[in-house]
Amino acid sequence: MEVMRFCQAFMTELCKHIGPETDVPAGDIGVGSREIGYLFGQYKKIKNEFTGVLTGKGLAYGGSLIRPEATGYGVVYFAEQMLKTIGQTFKDKTVTVSGFGNVAWGVIKKITELGGKVVTISGPDGYIYDKDGIDGEKIDYLLELRNSGNNRAEDYAKKYPSAEFHAGKRPWSVKCDVAIPSATQNELDLEDAKVLVENGCLCVTEAANMPSTLDAINYFLDNKVLFSPGKASNAGGVATSGLEMTQNSIRLNWTSEEVEARLKEIMIGIHKACRDYGKEEDGYVNYVKGANIAGFVKVAEAMLAQGVV
Protein backbone atom coordinates (compact mmCIF):
# COMPACT_ATOMS: atom_id res chain seq x y z
CA MET A 1 0.00 0.00 0.00
CA GLU A 2 2.84 2.40 0.85
CA VAL A 3 4.58 1.70 -2.48
CA MET A 4 1.32 2.29 -4.33
CA ARG A 5 0.72 5.62 -2.59
CA PHE A 6 4.29 6.74 -3.27
CA CYS A 7 3.94 5.87 -6.97
CA GLN A 8 0.63 7.71 -7.20
CA ALA A 9 2.02 10.81 -5.49
CA PHE A 10 5.10 10.75 -7.73
CA MET A 11 3.02 10.44 -10.90
CA THR A 12 0.72 13.27 -9.82
CA GLU A 13 3.63 15.65 -10.43
CA LEU A 14 5.51 13.66 -13.10
CA CYS A 15 2.47 13.53 -15.40
CA LYS A 16 2.94 17.24 -16.13
CA HIS A 17 6.30 16.55 -17.75
CA ILE A 18 5.81 13.30 -19.71
CA GLY A 19 3.63 12.03 -22.55
CA PRO A 20 3.67 9.61 -25.50
CA GLU A 21 5.08 12.34 -27.75
CA THR A 22 7.16 14.06 -25.04
CA ASP A 23 9.03 11.66 -22.78
CA VAL A 24 8.30 8.01 -21.98
CA PRO A 25 9.74 6.57 -18.72
CA ALA A 26 10.43 2.87 -18.16
CA GLY A 27 11.35 0.68 -15.22
CA ASP A 28 14.82 -0.17 -13.93
CA ILE A 29 16.40 -1.46 -10.74
CA GLY A 30 13.74 -1.26 -8.02
CA VAL A 31 10.97 -0.30 -10.45
CA GLY A 32 9.32 -3.43 -11.81
CA SER A 33 5.92 -4.38 -13.18
CA ARG A 34 4.16 -3.58 -9.89
CA GLU A 35 5.45 -0.02 -9.77
CA ILE A 36 4.86 0.56 -13.49
CA GLY A 37 1.27 -0.58 -13.00
CA TYR A 38 0.68 1.88 -10.15
CA LEU A 39 2.31 4.71 -12.11
CA PHE A 40 0.33 3.98 -15.26
CA GLY A 41 -2.94 3.71 -13.35
CA GLN A 42 -2.44 7.13 -11.77
CA TYR A 43 -1.46 8.71 -15.10
CA LYS A 44 -4.58 7.29 -16.75
CA LYS A 45 -6.75 8.55 -13.89
CA ILE A 46 -5.38 12.10 -14.09
CA LYS A 47 -5.24 12.38 -17.90
CA ASN A 48 -8.37 10.31 -18.61
CA GLU A 49 -6.69 8.66 -21.60
CA PHE A 50 -4.95 5.43 -22.56
CA THR A 51 -1.58 6.04 -24.22
CA GLY A 52 1.83 4.40 -24.37
CA VAL A 53 3.23 6.80 -21.82
CA LEU A 54 5.11 4.16 -19.83
CA THR A 55 6.84 1.02 -21.05
CA GLY A 56 7.35 -2.27 -19.30
CA LYS A 57 3.59 -2.43 -18.74
CA GLY A 58 1.75 -5.66 -18.00
CA LEU A 59 0.27 -7.57 -20.95
CA ALA A 60 -3.24 -6.88 -19.64
CA TYR A 61 -2.90 -3.13 -20.19
CA GLY A 62 -0.68 -2.49 -23.19
CA GLY A 63 2.57 -4.29 -22.50
CA SER A 64 4.66 -6.18 -25.03
CA LEU A 65 5.62 -9.81 -25.20
CA ILE A 66 9.31 -10.59 -24.42
CA ARG A 67 9.80 -7.17 -22.79
CA PRO A 68 11.18 -8.79 -19.59
CA GLU A 69 13.72 -10.79 -21.61
CA ALA A 70 14.45 -8.06 -24.15
CA THR A 71 17.62 -6.53 -22.68
CA GLY A 72 19.21 -9.94 -22.20
CA TYR A 73 18.17 -11.16 -25.64
CA GLY A 74 19.52 -8.00 -27.24
CA VAL A 75 22.87 -8.38 -25.47
CA VAL A 76 23.24 -11.93 -26.78
CA TYR A 77 22.31 -10.90 -30.34
CA PHE A 78 24.96 -8.17 -30.14
CA ALA A 79 27.56 -10.57 -28.72
CA GLU A 80 26.68 -13.07 -31.46
CA GLN A 81 27.60 -10.44 -34.06
CA MET A 82 30.82 -9.65 -32.20
CA LEU A 83 31.85 -13.29 -32.27
CA LYS A 84 31.10 -13.47 -35.98
CA THR A 85 33.81 -10.86 -36.61
CA ILE A 86 36.38 -13.46 -35.51
CA GLY A 87 34.63 -16.40 -37.12
CA GLN A 88 33.09 -17.72 -33.89
CA THR A 89 29.59 -18.50 -32.57
CA PHE A 90 28.07 -19.31 -29.17
CA LYS A 91 27.98 -23.01 -30.03
CA ASP A 92 29.86 -24.94 -27.30
CA LYS A 93 31.16 -21.73 -25.71
CA THR A 94 31.45 -21.44 -21.93
CA VAL A 95 29.94 -18.20 -20.65
CA THR A 96 30.12 -16.46 -17.27
CA VAL A 97 27.21 -14.21 -16.31
CA SER A 98 26.74 -12.05 -13.22
CA GLY A 99 23.46 -11.17 -11.53
CA PHE A 100 20.27 -13.22 -11.62
CA GLY A 101 17.63 -10.60 -12.44
CA ASN A 102 15.68 -9.98 -15.63
CA VAL A 103 18.76 -9.17 -17.69
CA ALA A 104 20.80 -12.20 -16.61
CA TRP A 105 17.73 -14.43 -17.05
CA GLY A 106 17.25 -13.24 -20.64
CA VAL A 107 20.96 -13.63 -21.39
CA ILE A 108 21.05 -17.19 -20.07
CA LYS A 109 17.88 -18.23 -21.93
CA LYS A 110 19.14 -17.01 -25.28
CA ILE A 111 22.71 -18.29 -24.92
CA THR A 112 21.33 -21.73 -24.08
CA GLU A 113 19.13 -21.61 -27.19
CA LEU A 114 22.21 -20.79 -29.29
CA GLY A 115 24.17 -23.76 -27.95
CA GLY A 116 26.33 -22.06 -25.34
CA LYS A 117 26.73 -23.08 -21.69
CA VAL A 118 26.34 -20.52 -18.90
CA VAL A 119 28.11 -21.66 -15.73
CA THR A 120 27.71 -18.74 -13.29
CA ILE A 121 25.26 -16.32 -11.75
CA SER A 122 25.91 -13.96 -8.86
CA GLY A 123 24.28 -11.85 -6.16
CA PRO A 124 25.35 -9.46 -3.39
CA ASP A 125 26.32 -12.50 -1.30
CA GLY A 126 28.69 -14.10 -3.85
CA TYR A 127 28.56 -16.21 -6.99
CA ILE A 128 27.41 -19.66 -8.09
CA TYR A 129 29.51 -21.96 -10.29
CA ASP A 130 27.50 -24.73 -11.94
CA LYS A 131 29.87 -26.83 -14.06
CA ASP A 132 26.91 -28.67 -15.63
CA GLY A 133 25.48 -25.43 -17.00
CA ILE A 134 22.41 -23.40 -16.11
CA ASP A 135 19.69 -24.67 -18.42
CA GLY A 136 16.23 -26.26 -18.50
CA GLU A 137 14.43 -26.08 -15.18
CA LYS A 138 17.37 -24.19 -13.69
CA ILE A 139 16.55 -21.22 -15.91
CA ASP A 140 12.94 -21.41 -14.72
CA TYR A 141 14.19 -21.47 -11.14
CA LEU A 142 15.95 -18.14 -11.71
CA LEU A 143 12.49 -16.55 -11.98
CA GLU A 144 11.56 -18.02 -8.61
CA LEU A 145 14.88 -16.88 -7.16
CA ARG A 146 14.39 -13.36 -8.50
CA ASN A 147 10.81 -13.10 -7.26
CA SER A 148 11.63 -14.39 -3.78
CA GLY A 149 12.97 -10.98 -2.75
CA ASN A 150 15.78 -12.64 -0.78
CA ASN A 151 18.47 -11.37 -3.19
CA ARG A 152 20.73 -14.34 -2.41
CA ALA A 153 22.56 -16.38 -5.03
CA GLU A 154 23.33 -19.00 -2.38
CA ASP A 155 19.75 -20.25 -2.58
CA TYR A 156 20.57 -21.68 -6.04
CA ALA A 157 23.20 -23.98 -4.49
CA LYS A 158 20.69 -25.14 -1.90
CA LYS A 159 18.28 -26.04 -4.70
CA TYR A 160 21.00 -27.66 -6.84
CA PRO A 161 23.68 -29.09 -4.50
CA SER A 162 26.06 -29.95 -7.36
CA ALA A 163 26.64 -26.20 -7.85
CA GLU A 164 29.34 -24.41 -5.85
CA PHE A 165 28.70 -21.20 -3.91
CA HIS A 166 31.60 -18.78 -3.46
CA ALA A 167 30.72 -16.27 -0.76
CA GLY A 168 31.72 -12.64 -1.19
CA LYS A 169 33.34 -13.19 -4.60
CA ARG A 170 32.59 -12.31 -8.22
CA PRO A 171 32.44 -14.82 -11.09
CA TRP A 172 35.24 -13.43 -13.26
CA SER A 173 37.89 -15.87 -11.99
CA VAL A 174 36.01 -18.73 -13.70
CA LYS A 175 37.59 -19.71 -17.04
CA CYS A 176 35.30 -18.77 -19.91
CA ASP A 177 35.11 -17.91 -23.59
CA VAL A 178 32.62 -15.06 -23.15
CA ALA A 179 31.90 -12.89 -20.09
CA ILE A 180 28.66 -10.93 -19.73
CA PRO A 181 28.46 -8.64 -16.67
CA SER A 182 24.74 -8.26 -16.04
CA ALA A 183 24.43 -7.06 -12.45
CA THR A 184 25.45 -3.52 -11.57
CA GLN A 185 27.92 -0.67 -11.98
CA ASN A 186 31.67 -1.21 -11.44
CA GLU A 187 31.36 -4.96 -10.80
CA LEU A 188 34.30 -5.83 -13.06
CA ASP A 189 37.58 -4.10 -12.21
CA LEU A 190 41.15 -4.18 -13.51
CA GLU A 191 42.15 -7.27 -11.54
CA ASP A 192 39.10 -9.12 -12.87
CA ALA A 193 40.00 -8.02 -16.41
CA LYS A 194 43.53 -9.36 -16.03
CA VAL A 195 42.21 -12.75 -14.91
CA LEU A 196 39.75 -12.93 -17.80
CA VAL A 197 42.46 -12.11 -20.35
CA GLU A 198 44.89 -14.57 -18.77
CA ASN A 199 42.21 -17.29 -18.94
CA GLY A 200 41.71 -16.71 -22.68
CA CYS A 201 38.37 -14.89 -22.68
CA LEU A 202 37.50 -13.91 -26.25
CA CYS A 203 34.66 -11.47 -25.71
CA VAL A 204 33.25 -9.27 -22.94
CA THR A 205 29.80 -7.84 -23.63
CA GLU A 206 28.27 -5.46 -21.09
CA ALA A 207 24.64 -6.13 -20.21
CA ALA A 208 24.42 -3.91 -17.11
CA ASN A 209 24.96 -0.16 -17.15
CA MET A 210 28.68 0.60 -16.87
CA PRO A 211 29.61 -2.65 -15.07
CA SER A 212 33.29 -2.41 -16.08
CA THR A 213 35.63 0.15 -14.58
CA LEU A 214 37.60 2.40 -16.93
CA ASP A 215 40.86 0.60 -16.11
CA ALA A 216 39.25 -2.74 -16.96
CA ILE A 217 37.92 -1.41 -20.26
CA ASN A 218 41.32 -0.05 -21.28
CA TYR A 219 42.95 -3.36 -20.39
CA PHE A 220 40.54 -5.26 -22.63
CA LEU A 221 41.17 -2.83 -25.49
CA ASP A 222 44.94 -2.94 -25.05
CA ASN A 223 44.84 -6.74 -25.20
CA LYS A 224 42.54 -6.78 -28.25
CA VAL A 225 39.75 -8.60 -26.43
CA LEU A 226 36.37 -7.96 -28.05
CA PHE A 227 34.65 -5.54 -25.68
CA SER A 228 31.29 -3.80 -26.01
CA PRO A 229 30.08 -0.99 -23.74
CA GLY A 230 26.56 -1.24 -22.38
CA LYS A 231 25.52 1.90 -24.24
CA ALA A 232 25.52 -0.28 -27.38
CA SER A 233 25.03 -3.88 -26.33
CA ASN A 234 22.27 -3.45 -23.75
CA ALA A 235 20.07 -1.29 -25.99
CA GLY A 236 17.61 -4.16 -26.50
CA GLY A 237 15.48 -3.16 -23.53
CA VAL A 238 15.02 0.40 -24.75
CA ALA A 239 14.51 -0.86 -28.29
CA THR A 240 11.70 -3.14 -27.17
CA SER A 241 10.20 -0.27 -25.20
CA GLY A 242 10.02 1.50 -28.55
CA LEU A 243 8.35 -1.56 -30.04
CA GLU A 244 5.87 -1.53 -27.15
CA MET A 245 5.06 2.12 -27.92
CA THR A 246 4.54 1.22 -31.58
CA GLN A 247 2.09 -1.52 -30.64
CA ASN A 248 0.23 0.94 -28.39
CA SER A 249 0.02 3.47 -31.21
CA ILE A 250 -1.33 1.05 -33.81
CA ARG A 251 -3.59 -0.70 -31.26
CA LEU A 252 -2.17 -4.09 -32.22
CA ASN A 253 -0.30 -6.76 -30.27
CA TRP A 254 2.54 -8.53 -32.07
CA THR A 255 3.48 -12.14 -31.41
CA SER A 256 6.65 -13.01 -29.53
CA GLU A 257 8.23 -14.04 -32.81
CA GLU A 258 7.42 -10.68 -34.44
CA VAL A 259 8.80 -8.68 -31.52
CA GLU A 260 11.95 -10.78 -31.30
CA ALA A 261 12.59 -10.57 -35.05
CA ARG A 262 12.39 -6.77 -34.89
CA LEU A 263 14.62 -6.70 -31.81
CA LYS A 264 17.26 -8.84 -33.52
CA GLU A 265 17.19 -6.60 -36.59
CA ILE A 266 17.70 -3.53 -34.41
CA MET A 267 20.65 -5.08 -32.53
CA ILE A 268 22.31 -6.17 -35.78
CA GLY A 269 21.94 -2.59 -37.03
CA ILE A 270 23.50 -1.16 -33.85
CA HIS A 271 26.37 -3.60 -34.13
CA LYS A 272 26.98 -2.64 -37.76
CA ALA A 273 27.18 1.06 -36.87
CA CYS A 274 29.63 0.34 -34.03
CA ARG A 275 31.73 -1.91 -36.24
CA ASP A 276 31.83 0.55 -39.13
CA TYR A 277 33.02 3.42 -36.94
CA GLY A 278 35.20 1.30 -34.64
CA LYS A 279 37.18 -0.87 -37.03
CA GLU A 280 40.90 -0.16 -36.80
CA GLU A 281 43.69 -0.65 -39.33
CA ASP A 282 44.67 -4.06 -37.96
CA GLY A 283 41.06 -5.28 -38.25
CA TYR A 284 40.30 -5.12 -34.52
CA VAL A 285 36.94 -3.52 -33.73
CA ASN A 286 37.07 -0.95 -30.93
CA TYR A 287 33.40 -0.97 -29.95
CA VAL A 288 33.87 1.80 -27.39
CA LYS A 289 35.11 4.19 -30.09
CA GLY A 290 32.55 2.88 -32.57
CA ALA A 291 29.60 3.35 -30.22
CA ASN A 292 30.70 6.87 -29.24
CA ILE A 293 31.25 8.02 -32.83
CA ALA A 294 28.06 6.37 -34.14
CA GLY A 295 25.99 8.05 -31.43
CA PHE A 296 27.63 11.44 -31.95
CA VAL A 297 27.24 11.34 -35.73
CA LYS A 298 23.54 10.47 -35.50
CA VAL A 299 22.83 13.38 -33.13
CA ALA A 300 25.06 15.80 -35.07
CA GLU A 301 23.39 15.00 -38.40
CA ALA A 302 19.93 15.54 -36.88
CA MET A 303 21.01 18.87 -35.36
CA LEU A 304 22.50 20.11 -38.63
CA ALA A 305 19.40 19.07 -40.56
CA GLN A 306 17.04 20.89 -38.16
CA GLY A 307 18.99 24.15 -38.11
CA VAL A 308 19.47 26.58 -35.25
CA VAL A 309 16.30 26.18 -33.18
Which of 22, 27, 14 has the alpha carbon at shortest distance from 55? Answer: 27
Mean pLDDT of 112-136: 97
Residue 155 pLDDT: 94
- pTM comes to 0.93
Which of 54, 55, 78 has the alpha carbon at shortest distance from 66? Answer: 55
CA dist 51 and 48 (Å) reads 10
pLDDT > 80? residue 149: no
Burial class (CB in 10 A: 0-12, 13-18, 19+), 51: middle
Burial class (CB in 10 A: 0-12, 13-18, 19+), 209: middle
Q: pLDDT tens-digit profile of 295-304?
A: 999 999 999 9
Three-class secondary structure of residue 41 per DSSP: helix
Residue 302 pLDDT: 94
Mean pLDDT of 56-61: 93
- What is the average pLDDT score of the chain? 95
pLDDT > 80? residue 175: yes
pLDDT > 90? residue 38: yes
Mean pLDDT of 238-264: 95
pLDDT > 90? residue 264: yes
Q: pLDDT tens-digit profile of 88-121?
A: 999 999 999 999 988 999 999 999 999 999 999 9
Q: What DSSP state is assigned to residue 105?
A: H
The residues near 166 (Cβ < 8 Å, ≥ 6 apart) are 126, 127, 128, 129
Residue 203 pLDDT: 98
Residue 28 pLDDT: 83
Calculate Rg over the CA atoms of the chain.
20
